[in-house]
Amino acid sequence: MTEPSLWQYALTLWKRPGVEHAALLLQDQHGLPVCLLLAALWLANRGVAPDAALAAALRDIAEEWERERIAPLRRLRRQAGTRPDWADWKRALQEAELEAERLLVSALETQVAARPLPRAAQPLPAHGWLLLVMPEMAGCENLTRAAEALQGAAQP
């Protein structure tokens, strides 16, 4: 049986109780790219040992996509949500934002595939990956709690 792609994993994980809330809290209150957090969980789930160089590369890709493409769409979508007569525009922006996230996830997965990665036979705790993709977690109790909530919600 083949492993799920990062996008498939993200879609499945997003449906679990608590994942969406925890991920959006990390996004909205701490400015962290949700796709990067989901990639960290995916890597841990695949048994990939935490790798600082890969985490930095993923962080760079995600931060650029978030800053240049996704956040502007999100701002417009939220703005469109304030006016009932803009409902069609809001839907179009939601679709564009989701497509931008799918493209980011594809870019992250491509970066992972470009590296030979040692893998364990079973999933690993996600804490190591989460700490690498959001090093600020080490010095922020609120961020640590939010990350732990995401990690807990992502547990099968």
DSSP state of 84: G
pLDDT recorded at residue 1: 59
pLDDT recorded at residue 120: 79
pLDDT recorded at residue 122: 80
3-state SS of the chain: helix, strand, coil percent to 5? 75, 0, 25
pLDDT recorded at residue 62: 98
Give the mean pLDDT per block of 10 residues along the chain (156 residues). 88 92 90 95 93 96 97 97 96 98 98 88 86 88 87 83
Residue 156's Cα: distance from chain center in Å? 17
* Separation of alpha carbons 124 and 40, rounded Å: 11
- Assign 119 to helix, strand or coil: strand
* Separation of alpha carbons 80 and 70, rounded Å: 15
* Separation of alpha carbons 104 and 120, rounded Å: 26
